[in-house]
Structure 1
């Protein structure tokens, strides 16, 4: 049984609960930043909601304000590769650790927040975030010293995990500790000096497009030293964005066609005149894109009974950093119409997100124009009776 926010507050009154506001929703829509992959975008969304909801709660209930570290403008450079947000309240440094998991038995903190000297905090807040339901919950906190002494370090994922028994769930203790100014930081080892040439080599290596954070691709000493430098961290962020938002025509011509046998420029299948007719006809129903922004690729799909259709795909670079996708199916031979009951579907994780079916006299069928983040994977399925073909796509 799912409980609403009011019921949760009654059950767990000692925890901090805060609902997302309409103002925060509008702010999020107006401040979308580009991230290097879908994982980073999801992480940024999680941290955005967490930070703003906590800030709102603090202002409304305690009258305090926070300072974001190193600055609000620098947050994307951190959220692109690491989960968590550092803030200060007065002289006390906190790190907000959001998590979408319903299990609140463990607090897991990335090593960066624990072992990079300049990133170390006095306290770490365990925060559950439910974006769909529109709320966040601070269910506990711990000190840096406890995290170092009692936390379980995972060398594979480079995280410190603390069991709930060592997490303080009474948040009043946090405000009391803040007033007392207790020293809760353990000693941490200084990171090795990173030379200019080493940093440049790391940037080249770590800026390569990937569907995940590169934080585990090099030693922690190197990674930590790179992140600790505002200049190097900003440069890494910039380079990952440059790689992620490369020209899509070049992406299609040099990457996609190479890894997917059978894909060719649409000119290979039709005369220039027929290509233009198809574009003009298609664009009447696809008002979100312009003719000049389209770069079509085609592939012949062989179904049963010697039936051939042409799968057409175009990728469009959107202003917000996302990639727009057009998908169409045409008769692949001299036939005028598609076979009746031909199904075209968009799938993600085996779930059908969109589908269309041809009629008795369909010249072509197309999926609704959709947009996705870099790092997204999806499938296109073409099916006729008991015969089907699936094409896998990865946007990077």
Structure 2
């Protein structure tokens, strides 16, 4: 029987080329038993069908780099993988016209970026790409659980995107501070620094900087966070303090300070405070001397601009990422 239910309406019919049938038969001829030959034939056809489809969609693949093209592996294992260039391996599982579930052997449950199910006509002249799933952990997958094949293209496009540069922690949204939406880990200056240290931080008319009125929003806000540089600090805790204040509707002033915390009165000598632009290039920097009780940097920016604050001492660093 063929599928006529609604969940099969997104099946993509494709012809099986003569070259694919020839390759499948060649691989099958070297198998020791008729059952193994049938398995390899169908696996090879499924891989060829998916390869042809992805090539038509402009996605580069290399079947010869796949285990299914390796004579030793296909002899010993039930594999039907297709190497998608620069992305990973898709498992292309064949399905007969009479099946409602697709066999996915445990040996292919890992090292795959997805599983595509291909329904192959008994004549071996046509096939339908029924859909795909990103993961598999069952030996019999109901075809009703498959996602549309269009989702496969979206999935491969996402995986093919170049990875962004790694960042430390989440992106802090500074402008939201003015609505009193404060990111986790950022506290009032008074709660992080001792009174004598916090008096050096900033001159605000409200010690709590509670954003409750429009005047407060127009004035600005400051928050502090403890910095952990591990053993490099040798017991000398330090705190990062950031102040955001509007200059106009489309421009903000940002003041960044580094303070000693705990019992220490001075910053560790040579600790660095760096401001990085969106490309991670340094555009401002300061370094503590032997008796500095704080260091600071100041700059301005527009909504949507991104920057990072990096604190460094020797080989130890901590980076905080911001968007205005």
TM-score range, shorter chain: 0.3 to 0.5
Name whichever structure is richer in helix by fraction.
Answer: 1
TM-score by length of 2: 0.42
TM-score by length of 1: 0.35
